[in-house]
Amino acid sequence: MKKLSRKAKELFGDDDDSASDFTDDESDMQTAIDAIDPFILLADTLAGISAAAPERHQRLVAACTADPSGAAALEALLRHAEVQRQEKAKAAASIAV
């Protein structure tokens, strides 16, 4: 590793500004998108499509589940979304108390 580091310094110089570009304060920074759970978003989107366009939903699910691994993956994603939803509800309830 040291050898690679020396080689990189030879090629690019010893300008180590990259370490100062990222501080511990920035690692704790939160954005609005951090609150979005991608699994819950996917499950809600599929539910919305099912309600708004049942035929489209049916075709989409059929395409995703055409082979057994796709069916298992979709089922696992939806189960995980439900677990995440329950955990978020518990966390919100504990904060409210």
pLDDT at 85 over 90: yes
User: Which pLDDT does position 10 carry in this prediction?
Assistant: 73
User: Which pLDDT does position 21 carry in this prediction?
Assistant: 56
Q: Which of 37, 29, 31 is nearest to 89 (CA)?
A: 37
Residue 6 lies in a domain: no
User: Which pLDDT does position 14 carry in this prediction?
Assistant: 66
Q: Residue 78 is part of which domain span?
A: 35-96
Which pLDDT tens digit goes with each residue over 6-46? 777 777 776 555 555 555 566 677 888 888 999 999 999 99
Which 3 state secondary structure label does DSSP give 86? helix
**51-88 in b/e burial notation, b at 16+ Cβ within 10 A?**
eeeeeebeeebeeeeeeeeeeeebeebeeebeeeeeee
Which pLDDT tens digit goes with each residue over 48-77? 999 999 999 999 999 999 999 999 999 999
Residue 22 lies in a domain: no
Integer Cα distance of 25 and 39 in angstroms = 28
Residue 17 lies in a domain: no
Residue 89 lies in a domain: yes
pTM attached to this predicted model: 0.65
Residue 87 lies in a domain: yes
Residue 19 lies in a domain: no
Query: Which regions of the chain does DSSP assign to beta strands (E)?
Result: none
Residue 61 lies in a domain: yes
Mean pLDDT of 77-94: 94
Domain count, the chain: 1
Residue 79 lies in a domain: yes
User: Which pLDDT does position 22 carry in this prediction?
Assistant: 56
